[in-house]
Amino acid sequence: MSYTRAFGHVPAAPARWPLWPLRVLLAILFLGPLIAPLFQATRLPLLADSGALARDLLSRYVCPTPAKSYVLLGFPMAVCARCWGATIGLWAAWFAARRPERLFAAGLLARYSALAWPLRLLLGALPFGLWAAEIAWWPAAPYWVLLVNGAFAGLWGGLFVCSAWPGLRDAP
């Protein structure tokens, strides 16, 4: 006997989380490192100071190698090339999770989402080990390697977050 026939009602669908916090976070992560040097380039007292503050905070508490930042208008971005690549990977994961049918890997994403969450977390965290390896064993790596390494880790980390966000794949 089915649950519906036995108890006379259908269990409620799991609650969806709103998507706007994730979108805001992705926008800040993508635009923030770009805006900081642009603010500094204005040389206006409050704008330039806020750009310098963002650079100082992110380079001290978030970014592992702030000296490897791209330079815009004579000022370094708020994070290194690797961290900037991670934000690009996060956006790639967002687009992959939102429109998997448009990707050649739609079946791969479905199989990934079917894995238990601890395994998805492990798969999302493993590429960040490449960061530590690159920092320790190839400190003179060119910026494009940092960018690709960051994008790879950001993609896998983002796939975990998107797979764990309730209702993301079903949202209109």
Mean pLDDT of each 10-residue bin along the chain, 172 residues long: 57 74 91 92 92 89 89 93 94 84 67 88 92 90 94 93 77 52
pLDDT at 43 (0 to 100):
93
pLDDT at 49 (0 to 100):
93
pLDDT at 114 (0 to 100):
85
pLDDT at 100 (0 to 100):
67
pLDDT at 10 (0 to 100):
59
Q: How far apart are CA 151 and CA 29, in angstroms?
A: 13
